[in-house]
Amino acid sequence: MPRRRYSPPPLSTVSFEDGFWGARLKVNRTRGLEFQLAQLERVGALEALDQKPRPLKIPKGQWGGTTQMFWDSDVAKWLEAASYVLATHPDPALEAQVDQVIEALAKAQQEDGYLNTYFTAHAPDQRFTNERDWHELYCAGHLIEAAVAHYQATGKPSLLGVVERYVALLARVYGPGPNQKHGYPGHEEIELALLKLYRATNKREYLELASYFVDERGKQPYFFDSEARARGEDPSRYHFTNYEYSQAHLPVRQQDKVVGHAVRAMYLYSAMADLAGETHDPELLAACERLWQDLVSKRLYVTGGLGPSADNEGFTSDYDLPNETAYAETCASVGLVLWAKQMLEVTGEGHYADELENALYNNVLAGVALSGDRYFYDNVLQSRGNHHRWTWHPCPCCPPNVLRLLASLGSYVYGLGQGELAVHLYAQGEARLKLAGQSLTLRQQTQYPWDGVIQLSLELEQPTFFTLRLRVPGWCESAKLALNGREVGFVVRQGYISLERQWHSGDEVRLELAMPIERLHAHPAVRADVGQVALRRGPLVYCLESTDHQAALHQIVLPDDARLEARLEPELLGGVLVIQGSALAEDLQSWGDRLYRSAAPEQQPIPLRAIPYSTWDNREPGEMRVWIRSVANSRG
Amino acid sequence: MPRRRYSPPPLSTVSFEDGFWGARLKVNRTRGLEFQLAQLERVGALEALDQKPRPLKIPKGQWGGTTQMFWDSDVAKWLEAASYVLATHPDPALEAQVDQVIEALAKAQQEDGYLNTYFTAHAPDQRFTNERDWHELYCAGHLIEAAVAHYQATGKPSLLGVVERYVALLARVYGPGPNQKHGYPGHEEIELALLKLYRATNKREYLELASYFVDERGKQPYFFDSEARARGEDPSRYHFTNYEYSQAHLPVRQQDKVVGHAVRAMYLYSAMADLAGETHDPELLAACERLWQDLVSKRLYVTGGLGPSADNEGFTSDYDLPNETAYAETCASVGLVLWAKQMLEVTGEGHYADELENALYNNVLAGVALSGDRYFYDNVLQSRGNHHRWTWHPCPCCPPNVLRLLASLGSYVYGLGQGELAVHLYAQGEARLKLAGQSLTLRQQTQYPWDGVIQLSLELEQPTFFTLRLRVPGWCESAKLALNGREVGFVVRQGYISLERQWHSGDEVRLELAMPIERLHAHPAVRADVGQVALRRGPLVYCLESTDHQAALHQIVLPDDARLEARLEPELLGGVLVIQGSALAEDLQSWGDRLYRSAAPEQQPIPLRAIPYSTWDNREPGEMRVWIRSVANSRG
């Protein structure tokens, strides 16, 4: 196996202009970043860095009184996002705010390197005693990610130094030695963070600790059992019954079903894939591939959401994908994007980019309002009108997760490999890259995702031989390619067109991806979607909102032969392309008073208008529906 | 308005033979009666009559540790059922058992007449302090019903005397006087029981107390508020937020929506209708009619189930009738049967009998297994295979409720009015009636509900002029009538054919009710049923079980033009008529691995077999579904 086929270019070298992402990323780095910092301030998460025990600011009962246990991670995710913004849009005022938060964190660090403001303030004697339920290593992971991002953005070692001292402590506490805990986190996160730290510092001990956490996981006798006994608890009384909840039921190399808490699962698999790439480990990669196949063939919403159940915030059974009660946590889709990125970069297979793109454009983007300051935690695919974004949440993991993901979007667009440059995502903008020792500027002009035409132009210092790989998304059934104005033939392999040649400055490539409106059907085993279709165009899944319709959404039936057309609406929802056509709806007027009757209800034509799923709940509250009842033809 | 158009004949004069009801009633009075007594014994409900405080026998946590508060009512319902059985099938051994239980109850009665074994044993100082939440008057009501049944069956005043002493106490405690509590029960029941007691004893004070409880209900300031304050509680912190839960939000005469706990609602409305009849009260009857219309036009399952939500064990919003999570408590349908009987007897309108019959044959009967000793509390209309009858329940209200209803079924079949005899229900059997001073034997020969042919033969002491009214059920679109072998014309008014003539011994009437298989559609506002049909034939609603099908039930689609036929299966489920035909099912084989795709799934023909809803979950566990996906025609 290859070590890792692609690496992303430095974040600072990729820029977005106008267009779809340009607008959204601007909201993200302005309103989003500022608003979330204000929320962390408001709820007391920043103040808590001083580690003085104090009553919760969030009223008790709103989230069981344990909110602050995760606060370090929320602060860290904000720092990470802010660092990405500093990398792409230097801003001294923001940098000063970042420095201030880092200073508080540095002050909070204990003599021995320990850094968890919740435990130091509230339970100093309970450090490292309950990895199963608490979130020490999870918080540590986010601090590490923040430190790496900050270091790479600013070159300042301030947070990196703090974090490396903390990791040194963790490496003393956890490991295979006789006096070490043979443990691992209940909520995975630190593994993927340590791998980032390893790449940032080139210190192999970080890779080794990550590797230890990954491979120790799920071994018997279970660490979580012995840890519970040490606390005087009976491990058999564990709330979630077994360790599938945290993917610790089996050694990870033996796993083949995506189970348990969805965010935990995604973070673990992401680390597994990354580690497999870093260590040339085909066995570990094979486990990832099995898990991936399980997810995408049986347990993934059409929107890229995952983990249908609120009970375990995670997976249930195959094909169990209820729409109205979908949990589909925003963080889980962010996690899927992380995992898909690793799988893509390690293997170069385009189908990973397909799922990355799907999760990103649909479930992830739905997680934040167009205004940038209201958020979904759970992303239902159907609502009766009572599901809305809130301004904050007692467990505010999702908002800063989307914040940091969007702020780092530049690292998702391109992949640099051995003599090759892959374009994974299409977005109006520019990248200034280094390839084969040469500087290269690649410019994308496109209305994507509203339109499938992408114009690429290259600027090179001197003619250079390399392979340009252009992704042809899995949803695209017909593509055209032109090189310097001349149409050329091509084949798609592994989801990419490969153009291997001597490139010259001024070369232009035009890719045209057909983007018809599709009606998607779900596997017949998916109970919730049977007899219904979802509309997709390009990477965007669409939905109906009641504000656009004269009938309750469950009464709307879309005939298979109804003509649908895409139409750009520049004034709607910040400018979206809607899908419109004529559907049928059961007629209430002609039904009468009876609750049941033999005669079928009459149906009347009704105008249908679908909007991108990611933009729902940005207008007046009402019903929403992704899966639309379908019939074979318009005669009902 | 009429006082009350019909009264039932004494229970002992009506008998069932073989046929549908004969078989079921036999199981009910043998296995059912014996098994439930054994369960009451096993859980400690009988032992508890000694009123010694003792720990719960049911493990704590199984039902929050309050089980015993209702036990008197469960014992009473068993006594009531046993008394009905004694009326129709005298049995000295059973009578001795009954006497023994009554003796224990009599011993439990306090000096002042009080009789509630839970409060006497566990909270003697809390008598009559929390009618809102506790069940004192509810238990009293069931004791009264048992006493009336026992007295009417055996002529023994043993329990009646006990109960009358208790009621005398209640009449001192509750009432309009300055030193009385201006209260009413949280869980209605005693009102309808007092009306029975009034009819059994002809003592007007019982009617007056019933009337007081009914009309005091919902007046402001609320009794439940002042009662809570007297306990030192803040009434605004009431768990159910407002008194809709117990229909005490408004004076009953002003109510027009069926709300709150469904069993409570039915018991109240039943008493209201009964009282309206007894007291010639058109205003009260009008309230009943409004509530009835609300129920049947917006809040009733096709199976006669009601109260969709487990949260309040009751009603939610109009047209909210989810199938898989239907609460549809067996007791609520029993309550609907009670209410419908009152409405029918007061008004003589056949549409009340239609709903009575529907609830009886479907939701109520589903509440008990064919074996008579396993029970549903909640009656879903769709199951993934994890919903099954249990042998007992920590809150065992439903089993004895069905037990007593079925044991008293003889009082539902006929109505005796001014010079008229109505046949409300059709069932193989015989009634020895008194009409216009004459003895009359009416014999029904019928395979109903499997077949719509009913042969009635009359034996009379001497020719007698009276009106024989035969119900033509609302589901029947075509009927034929023959008198002594000659077809005769007729009209149906108020749901009945009226034959007003001089009747002679040996007269024979043959009624033939067409009983085609119907596909029922729900009002388009019923989200859960849209695009689906329910199969009904005669009074029986049908369902699919997975054991009869080669596809998951959600994959089955019934074309509107698919021919369905009824077929008697004598060996199946004790002998049922099944509905069979050919449907379509989405094909898993040809679908492949993908979770979503553009091409619609292929459909294959599949044999369809539906069984009566009441008989589901009597074979191997599996999926069940009442509402079947439908398409316009078999070409999909």
Q: What is the CATH number of the domain that holds B314?
A: 1.50.10.10
Question: Is B16 domain-assigned?
Answer: yes
Of A302, A518, A597, the CB nearest to B520: A597
pLDDT higher for A19 or B185? B185
pLDDT at A56 over 70: no
The CATH number of whichever domain residue A466 belongs to comes to 2.60.40.1180
Q: What's the pLDDT score for residue A63?
A: 43
- A579-628 confidence digits (pLDDT tens): 999 999 999 999 999 999 999 999 999 999 999 999 999 999 999 999 99
What is the extent of the structural domain holding B148?
A: 11-415
Across chain B, what does the average pLDDT equal?
95
Q: Are B554 and A527 inside 8 Å of each other by CB?
A: yes
Q: Cβ contacts of residue A112 below 8 Å, gap of 6+?
A: A169
pLDDT at B64 over 70: no
> Domain boundary at A478, A513, A548, which?
A513
Put simply, the chain B residues between 597 and 626 with a CB less than 8 A from any chain A CB are: 597-601
- At residue A58 the predicted structure's pLDDT band, cuts being 50, 70 and 90, is low
Q: Are A601 and B300 inside 8 Å of each other by CB?
A: no
Of B594, B599, B636, the CB nearest to A632: B636
Question: Is B3 domain-assigned?
Answer: no
Q: Is B53 exposed, middle or buried (0-12, 13-18, 19+ CB in 10 A)?
A: exposed
- At residue A61 the predicted structure's pLDDT band, cuts being 50, 70 and 90, is very low
Across chain A, what does the average pLDDT equal?
95
Kindly state whether residues A21 and A130 are assigned to the same domain.
yes
d(CA B7, CA B52): 42
Q: Which residue of B has its CA nearest to A629?
A: B531
Give the pLDDT mean for B268-293: 97
Q: Are B596 and A534 inside 8 Å of each other by CB?
A: yes
Q: How far is CA A531 from CA A128, A551, B321, B530, in A?
A: 51, 19, 20, 11
Beta bridge partners of A455: A445, A510
Q: Which residue of B has its CA nearest to A554?
A: B527
- At residue A475 the predicted structure's pLDDT band, cuts being 50, 70 and 90, is very high
Please name the helix (run of DSSP H) or strand (run of DSSP E) that holds residue A223, with its range, or none. Answer: helix A223-230
- B401-449 confidence digits (pLDDT tens): 999 999 999 999 999 999 999 999 999 999 999 998 899 999 999 999 9
Q: A596: helix, coil or strand?
A: strand
Put simply, the chain A residues between 559 and 598 with a CB less than 8 A from any chain B CB are: 560, 586-588, 591, 593-598
pLDDT at B267 over 60: yes
Q: What's the pLDDT score for residue A122?
A: 84
- By the CB < 8 Å criterion, does A297 face chain B? yes
Question: Which residues of B have a catalytic role annotated?
Answer: 313, 397
The token duo for A450 is 């509203």
Q: Which residue of A has its CA nearest to B589?
A: A524
- At residue B387 the predicted structure's pLDDT band, cuts being 50, 70 and 90, is very high
pLDDT at B491 over 90: yes
Of A302, A525, A560, the CB nearest to B588: A525
- By the CB < 8 Å criterion, does B534 face chain A? yes
Give the pLDDT mean for B520-549: 98
Question: Is B6 domain-assigned?
Answer: no
**Contact list, B635 vs chain A (CB under 8 Å):** 632
- B139-177 confidence digits (pLDDT tens): 999 999 999 999 999 999 999 999 999 999 999 999 999
d(CA A403, CA A333): 13
Q: Are A522 and B595 inside 8 Å of each other by CB?
A: yes
Kindly state whether residues A399 and A528 are assigned to the same domain.
no
Q: Indicate the residue type of A527.
A: R
Residue pair B632/A636 in contact (Cβ under 8 Å)? The answer is yes
Q: What's the pLDDT score for residue B2?
A: 56
Of B519, B555, B597, the CB nearest to A598: B519
Q: Residue B261: which of B375, B133, B145, B400 has the closest Cα?
A: B133
Kindly state whether residues B492 and B522 are assigned to the same domain.
no
- B604-631 confidence digits (pLDDT tens): 999 999 999 999 999 999 999 999 999 9
pLDDT at A2 over 60: no
Of B526, B594, B599, the CB nearest to A297: B594
d(CA A53, CA B378): 49
Kindly state whether residues B193 and B310 are assigned to the same domain.
yes
Q: What's the pLDDT score for residue B47?
A: 86
How close does chain A come to B531, measured CA to CA in Å?
8
Give the pLDDT mean for B543-563: 97
Kindly state whether residues A254 and A151 are assigned to the same domain.
yes
d(CA B55, CA A524): 52
> Domain boundary at B415, B449, B473, which?
B415
Number of domains in chain B: 3
Question: Is B442 domain-assigned?
Answer: yes
pLDDT at B300 over 60: yes
Q: Are A560 and B600 inside 8 Å of each other by CB?
A: yes
Give the pLDDT mean for A244-257: 98
d(CA B319, CA B308): 10
- B239-256 confidence digits (pLDDT tens): 999 999 999 999 999 999
Q: Which residue of B has its CA nearest to A303?
A: B596
- A327-380 confidence digits (pLDDT tens): 999 999 999 999 999 999 999 999 999 999 999 999 999 999 999 999 999 999
Q: Are A298 and B595 inside 8 Å of each other by CB?
A: yes
Kindly state whether residues A580 and A482 are assigned to the same domain.
no
How close does chain A come to B588, measured CA to CA in Å?
6
Residue pair B469/B498 in contact (Cβ under 8 Å)? The answer is yes
Q: Are B598 and A635 inside 8 Å of each other by CB?
A: no
Question: Which residues of A have a catalytic role annotated?
Answer: 313, 397
Q: Which residue of B has its CA nearest to A599?
A: B521
Query: How far, rounded to the nearest angstrom, does the alpha carbon of residue A501 sit from its chain's CA centroid?
Result: 35
Query: How far, rounded to the nearest angstrom, does the alpha carbon of residue B83 sit from its chain's CA centroid?
Result: 18
Site from A518, A596, A602, A613 to mutate, B interface, most B CB atoms within 10 angstroms: A596
d(CA B250, CA B247): 7
**Contact list, B296 vs chain A (CB under 8 Å):** 595
- By the CB < 8 Å criterion, does A143 face chain B? no
Residue found by looking up tokens 């057309």 in the block: A565
Question: Is B593 domain-assigned?
Answer: yes
How close does chain B come to A146, measured CA to CA in Å?
36
Give the pLDDT mean for B346-353: 98
Put simply, the chain A residues between 376 and 395 with a CB less than 8 A from any chain B CB are: 384
Q: Are A523 and B632 inside 8 Å of each other by CB?
A: no
Q: Are A531 and B629 inside 8 Å of each other by CB?
A: yes
Residue found by looking up tokens 């430190």 in the block: A147
Kindly state whether residues A538 and A454 are assigned to the same domain.
no
Kindly state whether residues B131 and B269 are assigned to the same domain.
yes
Site from B298, B521, B586, B596 to mutate, A interface, most A CB atoms within 10 angstroms: B596
pLDDT at A449 over 70: yes
Residue pair B269/B337 in contact (Cβ under 8 Å)? The answer is no
Q: Are B632 and A629 inside 8 Å of each other by CB?
A: no
Q: Are A632 and B629 inside 8 Å of each other by CB?
A: no
In degrees and rounded to multiples of 5, residue B129 shows phi and psi of -110, -10
- At residue A182 the predicted structure's pLDDT band, cuts being 50, 70 and 90, is very high
Judge if pTM exceeds 0.90: yes
Kindly state whether residues A219 and A310 are assigned to the same domain.
yes
Site from A237, A292, A302, A595 to mutate, B interface, most B CB atoms within 10 angstroms: A595
Q: Are B302 and A594 inside 8 Å of each other by CB?
A: no
pLDDT at B61 over 50: no
Question: Is B4 domain-assigned?
Answer: no
- A196-242 confidence digits (pLDDT tens): 999 999 999 999 999 999 999 999 999 999 999 999 999 999 999 99
- A338-351 confidence digits (pLDDT tens): 999 999 999 999 99
Q: Dihedral of the CA atoms B427, B430, B436, B437 (nearest 10)?
A: -160
Give the pLDDT mean for B119-132: 91
Of A384, A521, A594, the CB nearest to B601: A521
d(CA B232, CA B234): 7
Q: What's the pLDDT score for residue B55?
A: 64
Kindly state whether residues B268 and B375 are assigned to the same domain.
yes
> Domain boundary at B415, B438, B472, which?
B415
Q: Are A631 and B632 inside 8 Å of each other by CB?
A: yes
Q: What's the pLDDT score for residue A621?
A: 95
Q: What percent of chain A has pLDDT over 90?
A: 91
Q: Are A632 and B631 inside 8 Å of each other by CB?
A: yes
Query: How far, rounded to the nearest angstrom, does the alpha carbon of residue B553 sit from its chain's CA centroid?
Result: 29
- By the CB < 8 Å criterion, does B356 face chain A? no
Kindly state whether residues A377 and A426 are assigned to the same domain.
no
Question: Is A6 domain-assigned?
Answer: no
Of B601, B630, B632, the CB nearest to A524: B601
pLDDT at A636 over 60: no
Question: Is A3 domain-assigned?
Answer: no
Give the pLDDT mean for A49-67: 60
Q: Indicate the residue type of B18.
A: D
pLDDT at B138 over 90: yes
Q: Residue A523: which of A289, A318, A259 has the closest Cα?
A: A318
- At residue B483 the predicted structure's pLDDT band, cuts being 50, 70 and 90, is very high
Q: Residue A450: which of A509, A508, A513, A407 has the closest Cα?
A: A513
Q: Are A524 and B586 inside 8 Å of each other by CB?
A: yes
> Looking at B117-126, B293-302, B459-468, which range is the least confident one?
B117-126
- By the CB < 8 Å criterion, does A514 face chain B? no
Q: What's the pLDDT score for residue B59?
A: 52
Size of interface A-B (CB pairs under 8 A): 107
Q: What's the pLDDT score for residue B65?
A: 42
> Looking at B36-45, B544-553, B596-605, which range is the least confident one?
B36-45
Highest mean pLDDT among A115-129, A217-231, B121-135: A217-231
Q: What's the pLDDT score for residue B56?
A: 56
d(CA B409, CA A463): 96
Please name the helix (run of DSSP H) or strand (run of DSSP E) that holds residue B511, with its range, or none. Answer: strand B508-513
Kindly state whether residues A410 and A465 are assigned to the same domain.
no
Q: What percent of chain B has pLDDT over 70?
A: 97
pLDDT at A271 over 90: yes
Give the pLDDT mean for A281-292: 98
**Contact list, B298 vs chain A (CB under 8 Å):** 595
